[in-house]
Structure 1
Amino acid sequence: MSKKTKLGMVGGSLDAFIGEVHRKAAAMDGKFELVCGAFSSSPEKSKKTGEALSLDSSRVYGSYKEMIEKESQLPENERMEAVSIVTPNHVHFEPAKLALENGFHVIIDKPITFSLEEAKQLKKIVDSTGNILALTHTYTGYPMVKQARHMVATGQLGKIRKIYVEYPQGWLSTPLEDEGNKQASWRTDPEKSGAGGAIGDIGTHAANLAEYVSGLNITQISADVNIYVENRRLDDDSAALLKFENDASGVLMATQIAAGEENDLKLRVYGEKGGVKWIHSDPNSLHYKTLDGPYQTLRAGTGYLADSIAKFTRTPAGHPEGYLEAFANIYLEFHNAVSDFKNGNFSSIEDYDFPGADDGIRGMAFVDTMLESNKSETKWTPFKK
């Protein structure tokens, strides 16, 4: 039985949203022990967060640089082994770089970095150090998303022809960034979020999900990117026609001004023989249709799913699992990779089912290609590499 992975955290103070999500996900299967953290750029706020989490005060740090430096000096059996980075986008690259270069593995919230250039640099550091980097594209963690991917990969749908993915939200329909909303403020600030607003925040999720399930990379984009809320500095709405490998085509929509919508992510993939549909609001179901067979609804936790799906479900059929469990599945696979690395059994990230640095690069390239296509007068823009 593998030991717990000792985890440090950068960001995720008490008033942050995503930090607590990561902590819950890491704790769910008992595979991680949070041992230290630099939870805020404010040393006082970091200290208060550490106290609330009952951490040893000597291992609650005022900055990520201090944390990585001091943890590196601890005996191997005491120091953290991996770092969870849950900061706004502009504070992804430097702590990830420093952690990897000091021998620590990294799990990082998406998008991977502030820019495509940074993402490519980080991939080089991953390759040169040999350490592991996981990216929390959450929706790849859902068991029925993995089942859909399995069905595509094993040819049950035939050659893929059409892919539709949509991610409507409504929470930025008004200028929340002008009302002191912390989440809205940094996500709409180009100096903190990067070049993309909605396309970086949720468009990257939609593009990643389409590629993950279909097994096909996007090759060309024809995009329409908009800003609807007056004086907003980054996009809040987008749509695109897509071209994939193997002549498949698709449609992507990602918007944060669909008033009334929550996180209504949907994916449909159609091949020559049939199609599948997954809806985030009913994540335990996968809808399967064929040309000459009955409409089927496959359910999580059942014995008829692919054998590889079983380890990603924790409860019997009919007991709902959702967002936190999907997050936890990425942490679970990350732990397995780190544990194998520690025991000398790690060979390749391809042996584990979680997004990595290459997915992160494609996410940043998606943002840049969407923006370039939106400005272009030609119909199709080649996907950046």
Structure 2
Amino acid sequence: MSKKLKYGMVGGSLDAFIGEVHRKAAALDSKFSLVAGAFSSSPEKSKKTGEALGLDPSRVYGSYKEMIEKESELPEEERIDVVSIVTPNHVHFDPAKLALENGFHVIMDKPITFNSQEAKDLKGIVDETGRVLALTHTYTGYPMVKEAKEYVRNGKLGKLRKVYVEYPQGWLSLPLEEDGDKQASWRTDPSRSGAGGSIGDIGTHAANLAEYVTGLKITNICADLNTKVPGRQLDDDAAALLKFEDGVSGVLMVSQIAAGEENDIKVRVYGEKAGLEWKQSDQNTLLFKPLDGPAQIIRTGTGYVSDLAKANTRTPAGHPEGYLEAFANIYVAFHKAVTDHQSGEFKSADNYDFPDVVDGIRGMVFVDTMIESSKSETKWTPFKV
């Protein structure tokens, strides 16, 4: 068994959503052990969370600054290896910066920072410290998303022509933020979420998924942003025409007011010879649609899938692998990078299959470009990183 990495968590108190997701994902393959945490800006809430998780009280801290300072003072064999950041967007940059500068590797929720400048500054710190930073764009962790990437890479679609990516949700169809809903409150608050609402929360996932599967970067955006719920401060609905490298065109749709929808992120890619389709509501299936033959159903766990898909699959065919497993695949790839770093074998994040700080920057610039394009009368706006 490979070395278990010790980690400390920033954010993720008992009443938070994404912190528990990170903890379950990190634990799934027995490659990480949670030993420390600053789970809330409230020291009392942090203490109660640590107690509930069975942690040593001496390693449950009142702030992330205290955690990083105290853990840095411990002997190397005792201190944490990794800091996991699961806070709202406005509390991403500072703990990541402090952790990297004190010698810790970082894995964090998306979007990477509050704004683009922070993301670019964070890349400078990653480059300077040489530490590993991973970003949890969850949906790239699914085996059939990786299979789709391999189909494109191996030329099974021929020259790419068109990409459609969509992420509809309906949970913000009503003004939940006015009723004190914690998740809605910070996501619709520009002082905590940043400049983007739906485009920052789920639009960055859609854009990242399209770029991951196709291997192409978005170069231009023509966007339309909307706020449908009266009084809401940020966008809750958006659509865009996209231009990718190599002359490929695309369409992106994200909405958090699509009543009745859950989290059915979906991507379709079309080339000159074939198309493919994947959606989270049927996550174990990839549809491959050749021009000169019947559609084919490709399934997770089968013997005919690529080595990349097999490496990210845990169960035999017919046993569903879902959101937590996809999330865990990012943690597994991050674990490999960190242990390689510790053994002196790490080269660069490009050698590992997880979203990194460069992907994080692209996510923030995506938000900026969507907003700029939506406000522009000329509409087509260059995507400049």
Paired with 1:223 and 1:349, the residues of 2 have a C-alpha distance of 31
Unaligned runs of 5+ in 1: none
Paired with 2:106 and 2:128, the residues of 1 have a C-alpha distance of 14
Structure 2 partner of 1:279: 279
Q: How many pairs does the alignment contain?
A: 385
Structure 2 partner of 1:86: 86
Paired with 1:97 and 1:157, the residues of 2 have a C-alpha distance of 41
Matching residue's letter, 1:335: H
Matched, 1:41 2:41: yes
Paired with 2:204 and 2:308, the residues of 1 have a C-alpha distance of 26
Paired with 1:332 and 1:235, the residues of 2 have a C-alpha distance of 34
Structure 2 partner of 1:364: 364
TM-score (norm 2): 0.99
Paired with 1:113 and 1:147, the residues of 2 have a C-alpha distance of 30
Report the alpha carbon displacement of residue 294 of structure 1 after superposing the two structures with TM. Answer: 2.0
Structure 2 partner of 1:173: 173
Report the alpha carbon displacement of residue 343 of structure 1 after superposing the two structures with TM. Answer: 1.1
Query: More deviation in 152-161 or 43-52?
Result: 152-161
SS class of match (1:7): strand
Report the alpha carbon displacement of residue 293 of structure 1 after superposing the two structures with TM. Answer: 2.0
Structure 1 partner of 2:4: 4
Structure 2 partner of 1:184: 184
User: What percent of counterpart residues are identical?
Assistant: 75
Map Cα deviations across residues 121-165 of structure 1 (whole Å, 9 max, x no partner): 000100110000000000000000000001111111111110000
Report the alpha carbon displacement of residue 379 of structure 1 after superposing the two structures with TM. Answer: 3.1
Structure 2 partner of 1:337: 337
Map Cα deviations across residues 237-288 of structure 1 (whole Å, 9 max, x no partner): 0000000000000000000000111111110001111011001100000000
> What does 1:109-258 align with in structure 2 at a 5 Å threshold?
109-258=109-258
Paired with 1:22 and 1:278, the residues of 2 have a C-alpha distance of 24
Matching residue's letter, 1:146: K
Give runs of ≥4 in structure 1 deviating > 2 Å.
none
Paired with 2:348 and 2:304, the residues of 1 have a C-alpha distance of 29
SS class of match (1:203): helix
Unaligned runs of 5+ in 2: none
Matching residue's letter, 1:350: D
Indicate conservation of the 8 Å contact 1:68/1:99, yes or no.
yes
Structure 1 partner of 2:24: 24
Matching residue's letter, 1:147: E
Structure 1 partner of 2:302: 302
Report the alpha carbon displacement of residue 342 of structure 1 after superposing the two structures with TM. Answer: 0.8
Report the alpha carbon displacement of residue 308 of structure 1 after superposing the two structures with TM. Answer: 2.1
Paired with 1:10 and 1:159, the residues of 2 have a C-alpha distance of 44
Structure 2 partner of 1:265: 265
Paired with 2:346 and 2:384, the residues of 1 have a C-alpha distance of 31
Map Cα deviations across residues 29-81 of structure 1 (whole Å, 9 max, x no partner): 00000010000000000000000000000000000000000000000000000
SS class of match (1:281): helix
What root-mean-square deviation, in Å, do the aligned CA atoms of Structure 1 and Structure 2 show?
0.6
Matching residue's letter, 1:175: P
Indicate conservation of the 8 Å contact 1:161/1:247, yes or no.
yes
Paired with 1:285 and 1:126, the residues of 2 have a C-alpha distance of 36
SS class of match (1:268): strand
Paired with 2:287 and 2:260, the residues of 1 have a C-alpha distance of 25
Structure 2 partner of 1:95: 95
Matching residue's letter, 1:362: R
Matched, 1:50 2:72: no
TM-score (norm 1): 0.99
Paired with 1:307 and 1:348, the residues of 2 have a C-alpha distance of 22
Paired with 1:192 and 1:179, the residues of 2 have a C-alpha distance of 18
Map Cα deviations across residues 207-266 of structure 1 (whole Å, 9 max, x no partner): 000000000000000000000000100000000000000000000000000011111111
SS class of match (2:282): coil
Query: More deviation in 258-267 or 19-28?
Result: 258-267
Paired with 2:311 and 2:53, the residues of 1 have a C-alpha distance of 29
Matching residue's letter, 1:380: W
Indicate conservation of the 8 Å contact 1:368/1:384, yes or no.
no
Structure 1 partner of 2:313: 313
Paired with 1:83 and 1:347, the residues of 2 have a C-alpha distance of 21
Map Cα deviations across residues 176-231 of structure 1 (whole Å, 9 max, x no partner): 00001000000000000000000000000000000000000000000000000001
Report the alpha carbon displacement of residue 2 of structure 1 after superposing the two structures with TM. Answer: 2.0
Paired with 2:227 and 2:372, the residues of 1 have a C-alpha distance of 15
Indicate conservation of the 8 Å contact 1:187/1:193, yes or no.
yes
Paired with 2:93 and 2:373, the residues of 1 have a C-alpha distance of 26
